[in-house]
Amino acid sequence: MSKQIQVSGLDAYYGAHKAIEDVSMTIEPRSITAFIGPSGCGKSTFLRTLNRMHEVIPGARVEGKVLLDGDDLYGASVEPVSVRRMIGMVFQRPNPFPTMSIYDNVAAGLRLNGRLPKSQLDGIVEESLKGANLWNEVKDRLTKPGAGLSGGQQQRLCIARAIAVKPQVLLMDEPCSALDPISTLAIEDLMAKLKDEFTIVIVTHNMQQAARVSDRTAFFNLAGQGQPGKVVEMDETSRMFTNPSQKATEDYITGRFG
Amino acid sequence: MTTDTKIRDGGPAMRRSASRRTSGEGLFKFLATAAGVVLLAIMAAIAVFLIAEAIPALQANKGGFFTDLVWEPNSSQVFGIGALAFGTVLSSGIALVIATPIAVGVALFISHYAPRRLAGPLGYLIDLLAAVPSVIYGLWGLAFLVPLLREPSRWLNEHFGWFPLFAGEGAIGGKTMLAGGIVLAIMILPIIAAISREVFLQVPRMNEEAALALGATRWEMIRMAVLPFGRPGVISAAMLGLGRAMGETIAVALIFPATFDISVQILTPHGNSIAANIANGFGEATPIGRGALIASGLVLFVITLLVNMAARMIINRRKEYARAGA
Amino acid sequence: MTLQQEAARRPRGVQHISTGRRVKDRFVQGLVYLAFAMAVVPLVSVLWLVISNGLARFDLEFMTHSMRGIGARDAGGGAYHAIIGTVEQVLLASAISVPIGLLTAIYLVEYGNGGRLSRAISFFVDVMTGVPSVVAGLFILAFWILFLGMPYSGWAGAMALSILMMPTVVRSTEEMLRLVPADLREASYALGVPKWRTIMKIVLPTAFTGIVTGVMLAVARVAGETAPILLTVFFTDSINNDPFSGPQMGLPLYVFDQAARPNDTAIDRAWTGALTLILIVMLLNLVARLIAWWRAPAKGR
Ligand SMILES: Nc1ncnc2c1ncn2[C@@H]1O[C@H](COP(=O)(O)OP(=O)(O)OP(=O)(O)O)[C@@H](O)[C@H]1O
Ligand SMILES: [Mg+2]
């Protein structure tokens, strides 16, 4: 249930503006890869190109290749809809559907592919909520609105919703930046658990978080004002944080800029 | 030297301007408040004077105002609102059934389907539909739509005559409830579409993205995130449209044949409404007749008031909800 | 390309969505486009018929003559008296509703502070938007003509129209006033300028073009109203330049009157009246939108 992503020579544009340039990397299955870098250097943009969510933004386009276990995600006959089903996404701000109950939120993605028997649906919902470490907190109020949960619980609900459709990869764009430290810890624990099953990519501004949870880290940076973002360095997290090969990486990690 | 004069003039000048300031301020605030109160007073006065002028006619009524179907206040002084109220409800019901789905489609088109650059101008095109005066829709309905509907009406009657709405014998087509309902539908479509479009555009972008990230198609995203969020807005938009349709006068006054009976046959020349009857009956009305028309207008006022207030409350609750969610 | 080749080119891992889902998506897209087309067809049809039928009598006589002395079946005649009536009634209606509407909006935005009165006013302004135009006419009929015993006149019609204009003016003005940035107000207060002068000198001028747009749209709406003037202005075939005495005519009323007459020359006049009316209304709309566009860059700062 977990696949490798290979990116080569990827450029992304918003209209005429080139947001990222020539990104190549391999994202290993059953591991957590962290993206770090200063604001505006294209981390979110790159993350969105991995499941073609950038296509939602008018004028956004990419050049280059993204392979999921060797399959080209931008192949001529590949639909973005099916790509997103295999590569799930969790956003910066928790975004449960406000009109749906907790149960329906988790079941939302499952219901897209036709009706499942109630018992099976119940099973997957429970399994996903357990997977997101939320089951114990919500099992008595599954029919209550998802918007009534705390921010951290909502974010775990969104994770449950994303993993319910059994994706190969889970992309997370600053999933903890809107949360308090306790909730952040809960999500970090969850990520450590989820990586047994999923390929996880996380964008974070929190160096400690990257150091704590990730196996590999990529450092993005801008070459200069108005220039596209690039990957400066990518390596084992332990090496990146102790002994980076690039000066810019060291400066950023130690807080000398950004 | 100059400084000197300024300082010397300073004291009294400041005092004078201060006193003028407070009186100006007080007067201005009074005027603004008074204008608002005048507005409230007008609403109250509408109710009061309609009631006052309706009472004499109602007292002279030899029939039952809420039960009788005939409307003969000028001759036999028997008049009842039954047939008119029924016609009002039926014709605006037809309008609502036709207009709401199309308006929701239009709203979705503008908010989620049309190319971005075209969405604005195309939306303006729909707004233009609302700018056409109702008398022109009446003329159009009379001269164009009524003849146009004759053949389709016969066809419907022939093949679906078993269905009560399409039943009837003899003259099929012409000035019918269907023609009036379609014209009303065209007239209320723009408001329903405009309000629905607004609420569809208010759907949080992050909820739409959440749906898409789950692998939803555009339609599935709309069903998952847009329609549930927009439903209260669409409901109140439809209710505002209903209120508009019930009060619409001149277009239906030209189209309806002004019969006084209760019939659900929308393909035969039947039909009337409170508003149409006021426009058609006013010219020949005696004092009792005018009072009777005012009484019917009062009923119309109360009905549309209730429909509108309900719609507004739904919208306002939604607004608070949206603000709390933001 | 054969199906096999197509299938071979398709990556193994990335499955297609089911045909059912794709078809449904396309189907709904078709419906949505269809709905839009269905909404535009009547607009085009109305405009086309009004123009093509209206041009027949769109002549100098129509613009300069009344219907006085024109027999039931006679050709000729015009709508001059109706045009004059509409212009006067609409101007008077604006003279009543613009000050009240402006002041009410100022109260709501600047002085109301969300109190009970302001919420009540705000709610009833919304409700007033839904008052059927015929009821506005009946009210003036009941109050002005029957209760006070005044005669039918253009002024009575103007009062009925002003009831319909007020809520529109309030809402659009309110919206514009709320767009005026708070720091502009504060800068003025900081200079010691009293609130009402700030409103007059800073807030209203800033919002001016927007308010004008709103007023013009309101005017465009009531210029086409028939029912209220039918009940209050009565009608006449002759020119009456004085809106304060005696029955007048209005262009929409003229169209209604002519359309209801069962002969072709009258129908021709109805179409031409409709064309004139639509030209006036659309022109007002267009100018209002142009003003709105023209000021848009200033807003985008
Ligand atoms: N929707 C958009 N339209 C146009 N340009 C965009 C859009 N989103 C992002 N950009 C531009 O693309 C570049 C990269 O933005 P991106 O959001 O990917 O940065 P980021 O690294 O995620 O920043 P942050 O850490 O603040 O989230 C920026 O220059 C930004 O201005
Ligand atoms: Mg970002």
Q: What is the ipTM of this complex?
A: 0.90
How far, in Å, CA of A31 to CA of A4, rounded? 10
Is C189's pLDDT higher than 80? yes
pLDDT attached to residue B21: 53
B-chain residues near A53 (CB < 8 A): 209, 212-213
- Measured in whole angstroms, how far is the alpha carbon of residue C167 from the centre of its chain? 12
Q: What is the pLDDT of residues C65-86, one digit of tens each?
A: 888 877 777 778 889 999 999 9
Is C11's pLDDT higher than 50? no
Is A106's pLDDT higher than 90? yes
| pTM (2 d.p.) | 0.88
Judging by beta carbons within 10 Å of its beta carbon (0-12, 13-18, 19+), is residue C93 exposed, middle or buried? Answer: buried
Sort strands A216-222 and A199-203 into parallel, antiparallel or unpaired. unpaired
How many CB pairs below 8 Å do chains A and B form together? Answer: 67
Q: Which tokens in the block code for residue B235?
A: 């409901």
The pLDDT of C276-280, averaged and rounded, is: 94
Q: What is the pLDDT of residues B186-232, one digit of tens each?
A: 999 999 999 999 999 999 999 999 999 999 999 999 999 999 999 99
Counting ligands in written order, the one closest to the CA of A48 is 1
CA of B76 to the centre of ligand 1 (A): 78
B-chain residues near C278 (CB < 8 A): 132-133, 136
- Give the nearest chain B residue to A110 (CA atoms): B214
User: Does residue A255 or residue B324 have the better pLDDT?
Assistant: A255
Instruction: With CB atoms and an 8 Å threshold, state whether B248 touches C39.
Output: no
In this structure, the residue with its CA closest to atom 24 of ligand 1 is: A39
Nearest to C230 among B32, B243, B282 (CB): B282
pLDDT attached to residue B240: 92
The pLDDT of C238-242, averaged and rounded, is: 87
Contact between residue A178 and residue A152 where contact means Cβ atoms under 8 Å apart: no
Nearest to A71 among C12, C16, C17 (CB): C12
Work out the percent of chain C whose per-residue pLDDT is above 70.
92
Nearest to C138 among B137, B189, B278 (CB): B278
How far, in Å, CA of A149 to CA of B70, rounded? 60
Domain-wise residue ranges, chain B: 79-325
Is A76's pLDDT higher than 50? yes
B-chain residues near A51 (CB < 8 A): 213
Instruction: With CB atoms and an 8 Å threshold, state whether C33 touches B109.
Output: yes
pLDDT attached to residue B318: 67
CB contact residues (below 8 A), chain A span 37-66, against chain B: 51, 53, 56, 58
Q: How confident is the model at residue B19 (pLDDT cuts 50, 70, 90)?
A: low
- Local structure of residue C16 (DSSP, 8 states): P
DSSP letters of B271-313? ---HHHHHHHHSTT--HHHHHHHHHHHHHHHHHHHHHHHHHHH
Counting ligands in written order, the one closest to the CA of A59 is 1
User: Does residue B49 or residue C112 have the better pLDDT?
Assistant: B49
CA of B225 to the centre of ligand 1 (A): 24
Q: What is the pLDDT of residues B142-164, one digit of tens each?
A: 999 999 999 999 999 989 988 98
Query: B54 to chain C, minimum CA–CA distance in Å?
Result: 9
User: Does residue A143 or residue B16 have the better pLDDT?
Assistant: A143
Is C57's pLDDT higher than 90? no
pLDDT attached to residue B6: 43
CA of A40 to the centre of ligand 2 (A): 7
Instruction: With CB atoms and an 8 Å threshold, state whether A82 touches C14.
Output: yes
Q: Is residue C301 less than 8 Å (CB to CB) from chain A?
A: no
Is B83's pLDDT higher than 60? yes
pLDDT attached to residue C173: 94
- Local structure of residue C143 (DSSP, 8 states): I
Q: What is the pLDDT of residues B121-134, one digit of tens each?
A: 898 889 888 889 99
Domain-wise residue ranges, chain A: 5-95+169-253
How far, in Å, CA of B290 to CA of B277, rounded? 11
User: Does residue B244 or residue B76 have the better pLDDT?
Assistant: B244
CA of B60 to the centre of ligand 1 (A): 76
What number of other Cβ atoms are within 10 A of residue B170's Cβ?
A: 6
Q: How confident is the model at residue C13 (pLDDT cuts 50, 70, 90)?
A: low
Nearest to B215 among A85, A95, A97 (CB): A85
Q: What average pLDDT does chain B have?
A: 87
Look up the CATH number of domain B79-325: 1.10.3720.10
Is C227's pLDDT higher than 50? yes
Q: Is residue A83 less than 8 Å (CB to CB) from chain C?
A: yes
Chains linked to C by 3 or more Cβ pairs within 8 Å = A, B
How far, in Å, CA of B26 to CA of B211, rounded? 54
Chains linked to A by 3 or more Cβ pairs within 8 Å = B, C
Ramachandran sector of residue B77 (left: φ over 0; alpha: ψ -120 to 50; beta: rest): left
Q: What is the pLDDT of residues A162-203, one digit of tens each?
A: 999 989 999 999 998 888 888 888 889 989 988 998 999 999
Residues near ligand 1 (Cβ within 6 A): A 14, 17, 19, 37, 39-45, 57
pLDDT attached to residue C297: 52
Nearest to B210 among A83, A95, A112 (CB): A95
The b/e string for B212-246 (b: 16+ C-beta within 10 A; e otherwise) is bbbbbbbbbbbbbbbbbbbebbbbbbbbbbbbbbb
The pLDDT of B59-65, averaged and rounded, is: 88
Work out the percent of chain A whose per-residue pLDDT is above 90.
64
How far, in Å, CA of C169 to CA of C172, rounded? 5
Contact between residue A198 and residue A163 where contact means Cβ atoms under 8 Å apart: yes
Is A43's pLDDT higher than 90? yes
Is C61's pLDDT higher than 90? no
Q: Is residue C5 less than 8 Å (CB to CB) from chain A?
A: no
Nearest one of B183, B201, B192 to B126, comparing CA atoms? B192
In this structure, the residue with its CA closest to atom 14 of ligand 1 is: A42
The pLDDT of B23-33, averaged and rounded, is: 88
Instruction: With CB atoms and an 8 Å threshold, state whether B139 touches C227.
Output: no
Query: A29 to chain C, minimum CA–CA distance in Å?
Result: 15
Q: Is residue B307 less than 8 Å (CB to CB) from chain C?
A: yes
* Domain A5-95+169-253 fold: Rossmann fold (3.40.50)
Q: What average pLDDT does chain C have?
A: 87
**H, E, C per residue of chain A:** CCCCEEEEEEEEEECCEEEEEEEEEEECCCCEEEEECCCCCCHHHHHHHHCCHHHHCCCEEEEEEEEECCEECCCCCCCHHHHHHHEEEECCCCCCCCCCEHHHHHHCCHHHHCCCCHHHHHHHHHHHHHHCCCHHHHCCCCCCEHHHCCHHHHHHHHHHHHHHCCCCEEEEECCCCCCCHHHHHHHHHHHHHHCCCCEEEEECCCHHHHHHHCCEEEEEEECCCCCCEEEEEEEEHHHHHHCCCCHHHHHHHCCCCC
Q: Is residue A170 less than 8 Å (CB to CB) from chain B?
A: no
CA of B49 to the centre of ligand 1 (A): 62
In this structure, the residue with its CA closest to atom 4 of ligand 1 is: A14
Mutate to test the interface with B, among C138, C146, C271 (most CBs of B within 10 A): C138
C-chain residues near A167 (CB < 8 A): none
Is C300's pLDDT higher than 70? no
Work out the percent of chain B whose per-residue pLDDT is above 70.
90
The pLDDT of C236-253, averaged and rounded, is: 89
The pLDDT of A206-227, averaged and rounded, is: 90
Contact between residue A90 and residue A159 where contact means Cβ atoms under 8 Å apart: yes
- Give the nearest chain C residue to A77 (CA atoms): C10
The pLDDT of B108-127, averaged and rounded, is: 91
Is B279's pLDDT higher than 60? yes
Instruction: With CB atoms and an 8 Å threshold, state whether B209 touches A91.
Output: yes
Q: Is residue C26 less than 8 Å (CB to CB) from chain A?
A: no
Instruction: With CB atoms and an 8 Å threshold, state whether A68 touches C14.
Output: yes
DSSP letters of B120-157? HHHHHHHHHHHHS-HHHHHHHIIIIIHHHHHHHHHHHH
Q: Tokens 């069903």 label which residue?
A: B223
Work out the percent of chain A whose per-residue pLDDT is above 70.
99
Nearby residues of C61 by Cβ (< 8 Å), 6 or more positions away: C76, C77, C78
